[in-house]
Amino acid sequence: MAIQRPATPDSVLWQHEDHTHDDIATRTLGFWLYMMSDALIFAGLFAAYGVLDHSFNTAGGPDAHQIVRPINGFWQTLAVMTSVFAYSLATVAMKMRSRPGVILYTTIALVLGLVFLGLELGDFATLINEGNGPDRSGFLSVYFVLIATHGLHMAFGILWMLVMIVQVARSGFTSNIVARLLNLRMFWQFQASVWVCVYVFVYLRGAF
């Protein structure tokens, strides 16, 4: 029977002796299963939006063409994509076992995520001030729910990044921390992919 060495902050990552149990890979698989369930939630929201995005569901209020602002959505897309790129650099730094690198690039990704949320909240505030809140029509209800659900996922990812910055600074790269950093990368990339779908299906489709 192979002997498993205890994980230490300075242990070599992703190198396992023959027949040892890969704990990081197991946790990653489990997180993939969660991501599949999350994908089903967004699929349902996109389906609901597609059904309600018609003039007879606006209750006399605005439709997508009147409320979406593709330029604002473009800046949000730029922010989230740049954030994903920054966090990818953080995972490269992790492979090099560079604590400062992970902390720096994760912080940049976090700030860009906050920029994204700020732009989204600004759009919501503008719509509500114009009298086009989620209670205005069935269409606006599903519009707000779709965008806000993605925004809540982004907020959770930002909180996760903040926690990981603290953990990396305190404990380095233990097996648990590495698994969390890798799962966070998948989560963040998934949120970026969902946003691209939102931008195309809601913003661009609504504008044209």
Report yes or no on 63 lying in a domain: no
- Contact of 24 with 179, CB cutoff 8 Å: yes
DSSP 54: S
* Domain extent at residue 96: 23-53+72-207
Alpha-carbon distance 150 to 152, whole Å? 5
Return the residue matching tokens 């949000």. Answer: 76
Q: Is residue 5 part of a domain?
A: no
Note whether residue 193 is domain-resident.
yes
**Structure confidence at residue 25 (pLDDT):** 66
Sign of the Cα torsion 163, 168, 174, 179 reads: positive
User: Is residue 44 situated within a structural domain?
Assistant: yes
| Domain count across the chain | 1
Domain assignment present for residue 67? The answer is no
Contact call for residues 201 and 125 (beta carbons, < 8 A): no
**Does residue 11 sit within a domain?**
no
The per-residue pLDDT string of the chain (208 residues; one tens digit each, 9 = 90 and over) reads 444 444 444 444 544 444 444 566 666 777 788 888 889 999 999 999 988 877 666 777 788 888 888 999 999 999 999 999 999 999 999 999 999 999 999 999 999 999 999 999 999 999 999 988 888 888 899 999 999 999 999 999 999 999 999 999 999 999 889 989 999 999 999 999 999 999 999 999 877 7
Tokens representing residue 179 in the block: 């698994």
User: What would the two tokens of residue 103 be?
Assistant: 């902390």
Distance between CA 197 and CA 143 in Å, rounded? 14
Examine residue 165 and state whether it is found in any structural domain, yes or no.
yes
Identity of residue 33: L
153 belongs to a structural domain: yes
CATH number, position 185: 1.20.120.80
Distance (Å) of CA 108 to CA 101, 122, 158, 162:
11, 21, 11, 11
